[in-house]
Structure 1
Amino acid sequence: MKKPIIVMVALIVLFVGACIRMPEPQNENKTVDAGPKIDSSKIGQPIIIETDIMKDFNSFWSYYKSEIKFFEDFVAFDTSGMEMSKGDFLKTLSSGDYYPLNIYSKDSLINYKLAKIPAKSPEYAGAYIRQDSRNALVHFKMEGKPIPAFNFTDIDGKLYSSENTKGKIVLFKCWFINCPACILEMPALNKMVQKYKGRDDILFVSLAIDPKEPLQTFLKKTQFDYSTVPNQKKYMDEQLKVFAYPHHFLINKKGILVKSVDEAPDIEMILERELAK
């Protein structure tokens, strides 16, 4: 894909809140705690050379999408290598002056370090980091707290509320019909639903911006195995603070938000972790 197209898509995500995403780098075997033991001399050093990250927008985007996962419980460091809180790290990134540098760690934990964005950096890289880190900070502050109260009726008339879902793990997918990325991930989400078929302690609920009738028409042509709730733009905007689509939330059996993520593979991983507790 050519650079002008990439920049245009990035700007749409940043400033309009559209759902279109860049192509994902192929890194299917990447896990949080996998990988060979490293030479101790590499600890604290960048996994990818900094000049390679910022040589152009394509390189930055490939690095950012494959290496940076703000939803993870990473260890954060400032520019001098001093440990800092995740909240302060995200807040500093939101200035648009720094980018997160993935560095080698002494253990299995993800380590990110603040790195100054060079003067000759890819256009829009700083703007993207600024917006993405702001969004991540908002959702990070929601983790460990009760999900905002809800009382939904899906298109089939089934009721879902903060009260009647207690004791169950609830997954929300936030989307809308005219969102290509939202539709593209549905087959993967359907596989996840089928994987846990028969588990009455897991609920898959999609919150859509669209009214009931267009959703019914859409779902006659497109298989989506989540229960679907119409007209939820206000709840997603004001309560869940959704900035871009699709977006996913996982709520534990006590009604507490565990994590929120952008990608289908990530929400499945978070669900597996929750079930393993």
Structure 2
Amino acid sequence: MKIFTTLTKLLLAATFLLMVSCQENNKERVTEMDLLFSSLQTDQAKWWRYHKTNIDLTADFAAHAEDGNNLSKKAFFEALLTGDYIAIEKDTPEDTEHYQLFKLTEEADEDISYTIIADSYRQYKHFAMEGTELPGFNFTDLDGKTWTKEELKGKTLVVKTWFIRCKPCIEEMPQLNQSVEDYSDREDVVFLSLALDPEDELRKFLSEKEFTYAVVPSQKTFIEDSLGLSIYPTHILVAPSGKIRKVVNSAPEMIAALKGLPLEVKKNGSAPPPPPPPGS
């Protein structure tokens, strides 16, 4: 009798384990992204560190919906702007970044919602400027040279907005000077800066600080009213067509965008000669 009871218990236990195993196999597989999301959404500070380190909303990323399907960047930004979602980086073998939306649950730290809205709004505004026409202009820089949109058609234009008392604007100048040097053999790339400050203050500042962009003084109205920008520095990359290609807020982002330019054009206007044929 005791043996029968023991066998019965073992049979019941085996049946229970089999049922549990079947139920587990029928459940949706929990991915590493799911586990990461669960960890991030309950801690605003932890999520923010992850977001700033892994998610670059200025990049040419591929966007994905909650179910992993492809999504337009516009729809992706609009989802983030609701405050109901965060982005998680997908691990892919491609060079292009892939970001997927994850919807915040009731357990989420509510500060994440406010922060993602604030951070996404600026990036969405810049994204919305891509493909639009740069407003017309007629500038005169500190050297007396005039610049118009019509004259710059056919060239890539790199614009920086700044002012003297903007610490980040000044700190990035060595990087920007290096970028000007790197493209010094390109007739088709023009570097132009629009400053808030008047001419006399700029001349005094630039007598002590090197900045190799062309500098146009007193451009608050054009920057804030015509361009609709209010954060400094801002960099605008304009395609030869006159349409805005990229809007970013730091030198590294601008330099990365510049790397997408076409084949180098030398100062004589011709492309580098082709290599000699084999055996010549």
- Supply the distance in 2 between the matched residues of 1:55 and 1:243 (Cα, whole angstroms): 32
For residue 147 of structure 1, the aligned residue among 118, 123, 134 is 134
Q: How does 1:75-86 map to 2 (within 5 A)?
A: 75-86=62-73
Q: How does 1:57-206 map to 2 (within 5 A)?
A: 57-105=44-92, 107-117=94-104, 124-206=111-193
Is 1:135–1:243's contact at 8 Å kept on the other side of the alignment?
no
What is the CA distance between 1:142 and its match in structure 2?
2.1
What is the CA distance between 1:55 and its match in structure 2?
6.0
SS of the aligned residue for 1:104 comes to coil
Match of 1:50 in 2: 37
Match of 1:228 in 2: 215
What is the CA distance between 1:204 and its match in structure 2?
0.7
2:220 maps to amino acid: K
- Supply the distance in 1 between the matched residues of 2:60 and 2:33 (Cα, whole angstroms): 19
Is 1:47–1:103's contact at 8 Å kept on the other side of the alignment?
no
Is 2:126–2:248's contact at 8 Å kept on the other side of the alignment?
no
- The gaps in structure 1 that reach 5 residues or longer are 1-41
Is 1:169–1:253's contact at 8 Å kept on the other side of the alignment?
yes
SS of the aligned residue for 1:156 comes to coil
Match of 2:202 in 1: 215
SS of the aligned residue for 2:258 comes to helix
Q: How does 1:4-23 map to 2 (within 5 A)?
A: none
Tell me the percent identity.
35
- Supply the distance in 2 between the matched residues of 1:48 and 1:155 (Cα, whole angstroms): 56
What is the CA distance between 1:49 and its match in structure 2?
2.4
Quickly say closer, same or farther: Cα 1:150–1:114, change in 2 above 3 A: same
1:270 maps to amino acid: A
- Supply the distance in 2 between the matched residues of 1:122 and 1:215 (Cα, whole angstroms): 46
- Supply the distance in 1 between the matched residues of 2:159 and 2:35 (Cα, whole angstroms): 34
Quickly say closer, same or farther: Cα 1:143–1:99, change in 2 above 3 A: same
- Supply the distance in 1 between the matched residues of 2:96 and 2:237 (Cα, whole angstroms): 22
- Supply the distance in 2 between the matched residues of 1:179 and 1:214 (Cα, whole angstroms): 14
How many aligned positions are there?
A: 235
Quickly say closer, same or farther: Cα 1:232–1:48, change in 2 above 3 A: farther
What is the CA distance between 1:52 and its match in structure 2?
5.1
2:68 maps to amino acid: G
What is the CA distance between 1:74 and its match in structure 2?
1.8
- Supply the distance in 2 between the matched residues of 1:77 and 1:168 (Cα, whole angstroms): 34
What is the CA distance between 1:56 and its match in structure 2?
4.7
Alignment of 1:259 onto 2:256: no
Is 1:209–1:230's contact at 8 Å kept on the other side of the alignment?
yes
- Supply the distance in 2 between the matched residues of 1:252 and 1:217 (Cα, whole angstroms): 33
Quickly say closer, same or farther: Cα 1:82–1:154, change in 2 above 3 A: same
Match of 1:268 in 2: 255
When normalised by structure 1's length, the TM-score is 0.75
What is the CA distance between 1:67 and its match in structure 2?
1.8
- Supply the distance in 2 between the matched residues of 1:47 and 1:197 (Cα, whole angstroms): 48
Is 1:46–1:104's contact at 8 Å kept on the other side of the alignment?
no
**In angstroms, what is the RMSD of aligned CA positions?**
2.6
What is the CA distance between 1:276 and its match in structure 2?
4.4
Quickly say closer, same or farther: Cα 1:110–1:231, change in 2 above 3 A: same
Per-residue Cα deviation, 1:93-140 (whole angstroms, up to 9, x for no partner): 112222221112363332111123455656754333212322222222
SS of the aligned residue for 1:267 comes to helix
